[in-house]
Structure 1
Amino acid sequence: MREDGEMEGLCNWALLKLLNRLFLNVQLHQGQLEMVLRAARTSGVPLVFLSTHKSQLDGLLLSFVLFSQGLGVPRVTVGSQVCSPRLRALLGRLGGIFLPSRTGQTPSDQDEGLPGAVLAAYVEEVLRSQQPLLIFLEEPPVALCLSAPAREWLALVYRAVRDGAVPDVLLVPTGISYDVVPGGLHREGAHGARPFGLGACLWAACWAVRRNLGCVRVDFAQPFSLQEFVAKNLVRQSCTGKPLEELLLPTILGVGPSQLDGKKAGIWGPGPATVASLEADEETLVTKLGLHSLSDGVACSAVMAVGITSALLLHKHREGVFLSRLMLDFAWLLEEILLRQHDVGFSGQLRALVQHSLTLLRARLTLYHLSPIGDVLVVPEVSAEALRELGHRSAAILPVFASEAVGACAIRALLMEMLPFLGATDRPSGIVLSQDELHRKTLELLQLLPPNLLGLQPCQPLDCRSRDIVDKLLLCGLLEAEEPESERWVCDLAPRPFCKGRPWAGMDFTDSDSDGEDEVPKRCFKLSEPQGSPGFLLFLCRLLSPVLRTYTRAVAFLDRPSWPQPEAAYVEALLQFLAEEDSFEYPNRSLALSSLQTFKELGVLEEVRSPAGPLLHLAQPFHSSVSRGKLEAFIQQFTQP
């Protein structure tokens, strides 16, 4: 015991020195910390931290933060990263715990025997002793996507509570925000690489020490009870609804539901290895729990200064901008973020913050000092690597504006439908959009994109989320409520009620005593530009452009592979296809996996079991190039170039 304590003290000292060399500072929100400390004092109820995962340094960072704040040294779960025996032994001494080596393979009865029982007993003992447990919800190369190892760990915690090993568990969603993710840009192509060893760790530490990584911020969301989560019965019909194949595919192909093969598509869940180890109800509950916690972790994560600057350079000023203009836009975007009740991980003078961001991005920028006008021209590098880095740094911006971005893309789709009917003198401010059509387009895009991709709660009904998006567009000033006038174009190409329970259907807009639904005036909105926010609609559309362009290219890829093929081979071939595109966009594994998830739910791809493992087949309707063209056109209507 004394030897373990000495080693733990030595490692904490070494880790403190390393963190001081890597980062300018490590930030914590004092109010969030006090909330977690109060939760830790709940007798007999252990804490389980469910964290987003940005880099392999996250486990060491969070271990140090929790220990230094009096929460104890957590047991840290290790995901799918294959470690060398020496590194595995060292991490085990420092509190790391590993899944059995069968993870990711087809399990056998022997595999599920002793190793699984030992691990389950160990997790139960950790929880009974009220040691904090840290579970990472993602794998670093794949953001906003619940990983298979995370489901395994969550299932072990759920079973410990279900079987009475502990009365309850308090789950603490946790977010990590870096100015510069340590090694984040070098792991994208290293998926499935050789085992990680001590030498690789030392090399990565030396590489990181030589770089300016800026600041790091750790955030905690409101702890919640696992027992209460289960009691709320989140796995219900309102969460799952009809399968996407029935909801959206008829709209895309322009056919009635009865003309399609009506196979049921269940909730997207883990791969076959996890499905085999969990019962159906437990699997669905664990998946929902993980996605809910991941959404909370993303929502509580602070936005860093370099993320704001990167988003402006990528989506607003890709061709260059004066420093004075960039500072004004930085202040504008900062205010918009704070208005949406998201925290930021910085403080200080505006010029210092922007210059700090430009310093961290200097390898991808060119700065021209223009002495005659006393300004600096900032020009992003025109290359795939530059766009990749800017996209990586600005990833935290999309969840902040996800709802408004979906609404902006829906507005763009409606304007594209109106384009053939507009004259040369018509301006967007003269166009009135009907409530029904705006809801319809918003709902179609929400059905297309997985909620976890946008950082949205997975169980909120889509019709409620669609109405919430319209409300947010009104609040931010992109829409103004207005009754249609005869001299204006009204975008109502397919007039029909959005649903019988429309929120305005019960309101008395006239003096008539009639309760007939047909006599309720149509709710309409006029496009507007928020004061002090020029180009806000275009900026919001461009936030979703990388996602939608990846989906569009994924449709074009469907006629390339020889079907059937394993899912892993499909993903790697898709990434290679995306990299070959004649543009500077860099393929993103997260978006490629999200497109695969959507295509499986939509019925574009079917998964068939075989002795060699599950194989992907192209569904019969999409053997036709006409059907693939309709799917591509459906996605492109929302895409801003």
Structure 2
Amino acid sequence: MEQRLNGGNAADVMSPQKRSALSRSLKMTPISVFGCFRPNVGQCCQQCTPDSLSRHHKNFGQGPALGFHNILCVNETHTRYRGWLVRRVCGMLFVCGCEVFPSPVCSRREGVCESNRVKEALATDPKTPEGADSQGQLKSISSFRPIINTCISPFFLRCVGWAMMKMFCSVFGGIQVNLNHFVALHRASEEGSLLVYVYVRQSIMDSVLLSLVLFCNNLRVPYTIFPVQVSNSFLRSLLQKIGVILLPPSAATEQDAEMEKLYGPVMTSVIRELLHEGQALSVGVSAESGQGARWLARIRQLIKEKSVPDISLVPVGISYDCVPEMHTQVGSLFRWLLSLLWRKPEGMVRIHLAQPFSLQEMYASGRCRGLEWRPLQDLLLPVILCKSTESVFGQRKISWLLPSRRASEATAEPTHRESELSIGIAVHLIFSATSCMAVMSTNLLSSLLLYRHHKGASMSVLCRDVTWLTKELLFRNKDVGFGGSLAEVLRYSLALLGPHLIIAAVPLRQDPLIVPRPTPAAALHFFLQAQIVTHTFILEAVGACAVSAMLFEIAATGVTSKVRPDSADGDKVKGDVEFDVVLCQSELTEKALQLCHLLPPGFRPPCQSSQSFAVDAIDSLVRCGILIMEEVQRNSPVCDSWKREGMLTWTPTDELYQSDSDCEDEDLCSYKVGQPNHCPDMLLFLCNMLAGRLRVLSWTTSFLDHLYAPLPEEHFVSQLCFHLREIANKKKEHYESCSQEATRAAVGTLKDLGVLMEEQREGGVFLGVTPLFQSAENRQKLHRFISQYIYN
């Protein structure tokens, strides 16, 4: 069901305080451009889960246009009562009227102790006394007893739900949810499906927002995996009464908890008991650190063992105008709550719950292509070291997303195929959750200021580009989390990004200049905000970087350029320069194929082959107008079906996947680099989308020159971040390449590429350079390979 962006929902845009300079300029552009249609997003993959797609198709987004609802706007119509008193306590009445499902924990601890995997772990644990009975086993896992006894108390859930709604009213201007998506979830819940919600971790608020949205819409509140250590005993007790599964007190991080011998078996058994009770779960995944993938692997293991019949996975897209800044140290939570008393709400939140799909269907069919995944070393090392001109076909295996279990499991390591299937499912869910995230107005404006106008732009130019980019997003079936007139949207987004902007208003000029602040904080903020736009244009960005690599190769041979005939007036050039070079389709596709292996998880559909993705990347540039197809002179007409040798070549009729066109030679296309009229510098705009991440890999190679001995992993990452900041400070630009997330993703890529190796020592995991790349010549080859994709 498509909905108009101006569809009468006044809560889509929250008008901030007006500025005089902006008001004067926005009067010049009173265009209400957002009268387009809103796409229906969140449908499950047709290739991996076709049965789930057809099963929930009638209930997902196909009902009446219920539109978006702000769950913070509660009035007397949401209760069964009316009157002036009801209007003052309607929030409390609404919370009391929401349905809460029971959560029994009477026999959960016994079920965990009777689990075979827990018994095997206790048998190999030296701390467990020999011949211990059931009471001895209970004593051995006493440290996990509070986690096992985690429950959902209806009283505490209603109290916390009411408090969260009051708190969020001071944090956000509104929390918008698509009511059309809840029809399929209610239907799946009525059928008895076990729902597991998966979201991409951005803030501590993610899981709280998801639970509150489900609670307000009378769905079962899930048990939440919370990967942050909570030291306050009162707060731990409160969180465990509303279904929050915390880390053990002895573990500071989730990685430390996984190193405990009993943690993995106990947590797997707890998940099994929760699913047997019919409870829902929510898991947060991270594409940079790989957090959350282990929990998905545990759920898939239960299905493989037939301990659980099936699971319905629900990707959740959570989009923020401004991601709330909260310290992971929960001790500062109370000070943060006190600051809300004089704080004005900032930004909106848009939440999309995607269509549920069966994990059993994806696992049994193997459609996530886990068997075709190959190590990154096999895919790229021959090309990097100049041992081959063509890369090997296959999918990149992201090994660091699901690290090997060293001490957390007593059972044997999973097979190679099982590990690849778990990684494939995790990557698929990261991509699905990211795909259904809406693009907010701050995301859109941040991408323009970072990738196209990093030196600033006038207000009229921003108005033009916002209009163009919004239409491009909607054309690519991407939902946007804003509506209203162009003036309202720009005023709203500029007010939210104000701390990172310089607005220069000249008295004699009614068109002010908007310039991003040249600070690391501003660049990192724009980089994080612009990632969702990069995800939408990933095909075009990969194709543009492939064109840049081709131009980089032929630059040394001397590139001629010419000016368009209609753009010059005498000696003064009005237009843009167009390269007079011809690029081969096969070479462009090869460059795009090699680049797509360097992409972090979540950007590329995992169920699509790398070859198909590379071909689509080049085709997308043709649709954009960046590549112009060159006509090929033929000696014979196209309709001539004879071969050049003068005879036809026939294929056997029993060969599969053959067509009538197989008897014809495949004609390779050639392209010229053009510049579309609607965006003359679109090639540079698209190349800059991936330049930040590629620049991290390129700068890391120079860091390896100063690495003389292996370092602990955390120490290695911190020193690398310091090195990247030094380079950015020296250049006084590109601060977006110094983020902690991008650094960790680069380290993971270099591990898979065979540049860095892990060593297990007494102090933990150490990272060092492999013998192959201890050679300065090989590191230089790696640097040239990565740098060719950075537009210069």
TM-score (norm 1): 0.86
Alignment deviations for residues 236-290 of structure 1 (CA, whole Å, 9 cap, x no partner):
565313x322221122122359xxxxxx988444334468635234433322211
- Establish whether residue 475 from structure 1 lines up as the match of residue 623 from structure 2: yes
Q: 1:402 offset after TM fit, Å? A: 0.9
1:12 aligned partner:
161
1:161 aligned partner:
303
2:748 aligned to which of 570, 591, 597:
597
2:519 aligned partner:
383
Q: 1:29 offset after TM fit, Å? A: 1.8
Percent identical: 31
Letter matched to residue 181 of structure 2: Q
1:69 aligned to which of 217, 235, 245:
217
Q: 1:448 offset after TM fit, Å? A: 2.6
Question: Separation in 2 of the partners of 1:509 and 1:538?
Answer: 41
**Per the alignment, in what secondary structure is the counterpart of residue 690 of structure 2?**
helix
Letter matched to residue 296 of structure 2: L
Q: Is the 8 A contact 2:289 2:745 kept in 1?
A: no
- Establish whether residue 180 from structure 1 lines up as the match of residue 322 from structure 2: yes
1:628 aligned partner:
779
2:107 aligned partner:
none
Question: Separation in 1 of the partners of 2:523 and 2:369?
Answer: 41
1:439 aligned partner:
589
**Per the alignment, in what secondary structure is the counterpart of residue 220 of structure 2?**
coil
Change (3 A) 1:316 1:236: closer
Q: 1:400 offset after TM fit, Å? A: 0.5
Question: Separation in 2 of the partners of 1:55 and 1:461?
Answer: 32
Alignment deviations for residues 413-432 of structure 1 (CA, whole Å, 9 cap, x no partner):
11122222323548535322
**Per the alignment, in what secondary structure is the counterpart of residue 76 of structure 1?**
strand
Letter matched to residue 28 of structure 1: V
- Establish whether residue 271 from structure 1 lines up as the match of residue 420 from structure 2: no
1:299-338 superposed matches below 5 A: 299-338=435-474
Q: Is the 8 A contact 1:291 1:458 kept in 2?
A: yes
Question: Separation in 1 of the partners of 2:408 and 2:419?
Answer: 10
Q: 1:296 offset after TM fit, Å? A: 0.2
Q: Is the 8 A contact 1:541 1:640 kept in 2?
A: yes
Alignment deviations for residues 448-498 of structure 1 (CA, whole Å, 9 cap, x no partner):
33343xx22234321111112122222222223223579xxxxxxxxxxxx
Letter matched to residue 627 of structure 1: N
Question: Separation in 2 of the partners of 1:275 and 1:475?
Answer: 52
Q: Is the 8 A contact 1:245 1:602 kept in 2?
A: yes
Q: 1:23 offset after TM fit, Å? A: 1.1
Change (3 A) 1:8 1:218: same
Question: Separation in 1 of the partners of 2:615 and 2:363?
Answer: 27
- Establish whether residue 248 from structure 1 lines up as the match of residue 380 from structure 2: yes
Q: 1:528 offset after TM fit, Å? A: 2.6
Q: 1:225 offset after TM fit, Å? A: 0.5
1:95 aligned to which of 243, 246, 250:
243
Change (3 A) 1:431 1:32: farther
Change (3 A) 1:39 1:364: same
**Per the alignment, in what secondary structure is the counterpart of residue 314 of structure 2?**
strand
1:576 aligned partner:
722
Q: Is the 8 A contact 1:177 1:216 kept in 2?
A: yes
Alignment deviations for residues 36-62 of structure 1 (CA, whole Å, 9 cap, x no partner):
22222223x210001111111112111
Change (3 A) 1:462 1:268: farther
Letter matched to residue 622 of structure 1: F
**Per the alignment, in what secondary structure is the counterpart of residue 255 of structure 2?**
coil
Letter matched to residue 379 of structure 2: L
Change (3 A) 1:438 1:98: same
Change (3 A) 1:172 1:417: same
2:559 aligned partner:
422
**Per the alignment, in what secondary structure is the counterpart of residue 512 of structure 2?**
strand
Change (3 A) 1:352 1:465: same
1:113-512 superposed matches below 5 A: 113=262, 116-138=264-286, 144-145=287-288, 147-148=290-291, 150-183=292-325, 196-197=329-330, 199-207=331-339, 210=343, 212-234=345-367, 238-241=371-374, 243-255=375-387, 267-273=399-405, 277=409, 278-280=413-415, 281-419=417-555, 420-423=557-560, 425=562, 428=578, 430-452=580-602, 455-484=603-632, 511-512=642-643
Question: Separation in 2 of the partners of 1:168 and 1:424?
Answer: 61
- Establish whether residue 550 from structure 1 lines up as the match of residue 696 from structure 2: yes
Question: Separation in 1 of the partners of 2:544 and 2:467?
Answer: 22
Q: Which runs of 5+ in 1 are unaligned?
A: 139-143, 191-195, 258-263, 487-506
User: Which of these two proteins has the greater Rg computed from alpha carbons?
Assistant: 2
Letter matched to residue 517 of structure 2: E
Letter matched to residue 579 of structure 1: R
Change (3 A) 1:252 1:120: closer
**Per the alignment, in what secondary structure is the counterpart of residue 505 of structure 2?**
strand
**Per the alignment, in what secondary structure is the counterpart of residue 248 of structure 1?**
helix
Change (3 A) 1:82 1:11: closer
Alignment deviations for residues 344-383 of structure 1 (CA, whole Å, 9 cap, x no partner):
1111111110110100011111222334332222122122
Q: 1:146 offset after TM fit, Å? A: 5.5
**Per the alignment, in what secondary structure is the counterpart of residue 597 of structure 2?**
helix
Change (3 A) 1:620 1:387: same
Letter matched to residue 229 of structure 1: M
Question: Separation in 2 of the partners of 1:47 and 1:178?
Answer: 24
**Per the alignment, in what secondary structure is the counterpart of residue 352 of structure 2?**
strand
Question: Separation in 2 of the partners of 1:462 and 1:308?
Answer: 28
Letter matched to residue 409 of structure 1: C
- Establish whether residue 640 from structure 1 lines up as the match of residue 791 from structure 2: yes
TM-score (norm 2): 0.70
**Per the alignment, in what secondary structure is the counterpart of residue 104 of structure 1?**
helix
Aligned residues: 592
Alignment deviations for residues 380-403 of structure 1 (CA, whole Å, 9 cap, x no partner):
212212212221222211100111
Q: Is the 8 A contact 2:247 2:257 kept in 1?
A: no
Change (3 A) 1:206 1:536: farther
Q: Is the 8 A contact 2:561 2:580 kept in 1?
A: no
Q: Is the 8 A contact 1:605 1:616 kept in 2?
A: yes
Alignment deviations for residues 58-83 of structure 1 (CA, whole Å, 9 cap, x no partner):
12111110110111222111115454
Question: Separation in 2 of the partners of 1:303 and 1:224?
Answer: 24
**Per the alignment, in what secondary structure is the counterpart of residue 438 of structure 1?**
helix
Q: Is the 8 A contact 1:566 1:614 kept in 2?
A: yes
Question: Separation in 1 of the partners of 2:438 and 2:370?
Answer: 34
1:562 aligned to which of 708, 717, 722:
708
Change (3 A) 1:161 1:28: same
Segment drifting more, 58-67 vs 91-100: 91-100
1:615 aligned partner:
766
Question: Separation in 2 of the partners of 1:364 and 1:418?
Answer: 39
Question: Separation in 2 of the partners of 1:58 and 1:450?
Answer: 22
Question: Separation in 2 of the partners of 1:370 and 1:233?
Answer: 62
Question: Separation in 1 of the partners of 2:458 and 2:539?
Answer: 30
Segment drifting more, 403-412 vs 98-107: 98-107
Change (3 A) 1:236 1:340: closer
Question: Separation in 2 of the partners of 1:27 and 1:51?
Answer: 16
Question: Separation in 2 of the partners of 1:269 and 1:394?
Answer: 23
**RMSD value over aligned CA atoms?**
2.9
Segment drifting more, 549-558 vs 390-399: 390-399
Q: 1:98 offset after TM fit, Å? A: 2.6
1:57 aligned to which of 201, 205, 210:
205
